[in-house]
Structure 1
Amino acid sequence: MRTGSGRLRGGVMRAASALWLALLPGLPAAAAPESVATALVVAVDVSQSVDDARFRLQMEGIAEALEDPSVIGAITGTPGGILFAMVTWADRADLAVGWRRIASRADAAAAAALVRATPRQAGEFTCLGQMFRTVAAGVLPALPVPAERVVVDVSGDGIDNCTDAGSLAEAHAALLATGATINGLPILVPGENDVVGAGAYRAPGYGLLPTPLPQERTSLEQWYRAHVIGGPGAFLLAAAGYGDFSRALRRKFVIEISALGR
């Protein structure tokens, strides 16, 4: 007959064994959820118009948004948190911060530290179409777990100036075909991008032949509505200059993570 002390010793041994297994590398004590509600890609323009000061304002703005109590509240109110990645883009698009789960204040602080430590990427042109292709072909397929909703949050202060209109539309359609939603955050800088779309320019890949910009004169917000945003629930929220970037992004994050109507 087994005594009470024998049962106690057996229970302690089983508990100790379970703890030992949980502490082994690669065997977490509790498995992470197999999916998340939202996977968020922040795609940031770092082209020639973005000097060092503007680059730092963008990186600090993203970090501050991740650390904001309202954003953390939206994240922690979602079972399993979110998946987060950051892409910087100019002549090419680079995955600056790879996919990571954010489910707590500590997770958000760790992601914000990575954003702040991101070095500035060299680049001259605003190759939006190239960024669309990179996200569709390289970033989204690398999602570590499925996401119910994928959001690509695009910010910038200019229109694409290295892709012809047909190729840009194809790249945009290919990204939307993945099921992603593309939201826009145009950065409006008075005296610099009040009017866009008129004139011509020279871009990489086209030699010395000028590739015409759209001939209609329009605002950056209208251009983003026509060529950037798309997908279920897509919306645009402009920043009134680089100093307003952090405020605008915080608001966007809460809407995107909470899946709220604008």
Structure 2
Amino acid sequence: MGERRRSAASRARVRLRGRIPLVLAALCGLATAVAAGAEATPSVALVVAVDVSQSVDDRRFTLQLEGIAAALEDPEVVATMTQRPGGTLFTMVTWADRASVALNWRRIASRSDALAAAAQVRATPRQSGEFTCLGQMFRTVAASVIPAMPAPAQRIVVDVSGDGIDNCTDPDSLEAERNALLATEATINGLPILVPGENDVVGAGAYRSPGYGLRATPLPQERTGLAQWYRDHVLGGPGAFLLVAAGYGDFSRALRRKFVMEVSDAGDRAGR
């Protein structure tokens, strides 16, 4: 009886020794796959630029951050961002009088990466500011944000949202700042937030709620709609497109759709 037990134990040890190389090979394969994913070129580097000027009160600020966080938790957005081995590079910039990096570059290559980014977006403190300095934001993204990318990406997309026009920069300087950003090979997309009674008409002589009239809008500036102003002064680069949010309550829906378009091939094919 004892001999049979010793024989069975011996056979079990032999089987175990035979499996060890297979287990080690599997672990090595997993490590190689993880390393390859970390080293793969991201398909898109996405800069989310959020307006936090005086026209954006605390409620509107929260709706924007919640919309971004909810988009990063959305299954379709997560699937789009993680569908390729290199994932998606993601950063968030808040801007008013000046632009600040609210969330440093991170690679979103898994659902857990996306959820971690969403949690950090929700924890972003409010940045104070009065003016809508779009040109300043362009300058910061071109000079500081894009050069800080941790890895090269196949495409760079700057996603600009806001509820007003630039009231800091003269038109020629604004155009120069946008061109400097486009020279980095970035595409600039727009998400204007339309608020009835506040920004139906923008430009010289237009009615402005608090936050719009703090500084005289540089002339010449034609009276126009906010969506058209974004087309004329914000959009640029290959495949640039505009998607409108019908108020702050619609921001989350619009942003989820926009993220999917920007990260997928649909963003390359989108027109104005």
TM-score interval, smaller chain: 0.7 to 0.9
Structure 1 unmatched runs, 5+ = 23-27, 204-209
- CA shift, 1:214, in A, is 3.7
Alignment partner, residue 73 of structure 1: 79
2:222 corresponds to which letter in structure 1? E
- Alignment of 1:194 with 2:211, yes or no, is no
Which stretch has the larger CA shift, 71-80 or 112-121?
A: 71-80
Which residue is equivalent to 1:165?
Answer: 171
Residue 182 of structure 1 pairs with residue 174 of structure 2: no
Greater helix proportion: 2
- Letter aligned with residue 221 of structure 1: A
CA contact (8 A) 2:190 2:242 kept: yes
Contact residue 34 and residue 145 of structure 1 kept, 8 A: no
State the shift of 1:35 in Å: 1.6
Deviates more, 1:170-179 or 1:252-261: 252-261
| Matched residue SS, 1:36 | coil
* C-alpha separation in 1, matches of 2:34 and 2:42: 19
Aligned residue for 1:223, secondary structure, equals helix
The whole-number CA distance in structure 2 between the counterparts of 1:59 and 1:253 is 14
1:132·1:172 contact (CA, 8 Å) conserved in 2? yes
Could you say which residue in structure 2 is the equivalent of 1:250?
256
Q: Which runs of 5+ in 2 are unaligned?
A: 1-12, 207-212
8 Å contact from structure 2 (residues 131, 214) kept in 1: no
Deviation at 1:33, TM superposition (A): 2.2
Matched residues in 2 for 1:202 and 1:119: separation? 24
Which SS does the other structure have where 1:253 is aligned?
A: helix
Aligned residues: 244
Shift of 1:180: 0.1
Aligned equivalents of 1:232, 1:79: Cα separation in 2: 23
Using a 3 Å threshold, how does the CA distance of structure 1 residues 97 and 46 change in structure 2: closer, same or farther?
same
Conserved in 2, the CA contact under 8 Å of 1:85 and 1:100? yes
Q: Runs of at least 4 residues of structure 1 off by over 2 A?
A: 28-31, 199-203, 210-215
Deviation, 1:34, is 3.8
1:117 to 123, 128, 135: 123
Q: Which SS does the other structure have where 1:174 is aligned?
A: helix
**Is this contact kept in 1: 2:40–2:85, CA < 8 A?**
no
Structure of greater Rg = 2
Partner residue of 2:228 out of 209, 216, 222: 222
> Whole-Å Cα distance in 2 between the matches of residues 224 and 183 of structure 1?
9
Q: Normalization by structure 2: what TM-score?
A: 0.83
Contact 2:46-2:156 at 8 Å conserved across structures: yes
Q: What is the root-mean-square deviation in Å for CA atoms of aligned residues? A: 2.6
State how far apart, in whole Å, the 1-side matches of 2:45 and 2:202 are: 31
Preserved contact between residue 34 and residue 146 of structure 1 (Cα < 8 Å): no
Output one character per residue of 1:57-96: Cα deviation in whole Å (capped at 9) or x when no partner: 0000000011111101111222221000000000000000
Q: Secondary structure at the match of 1:212?
A: coil
Q: Deviations over 1:150-181 (max 9, x none)?
A: 00000000000001111101100000000000
Alignment check: 8 A CA contact 1:64 1:246 kept: yes
- Does the 8 Å CA contact 2:168/2:218 hold for their aligned counterparts? no
1:30 aligns with 2:35: yes
Cα 1:166–1:202 change in 2 (3 A) is: farther
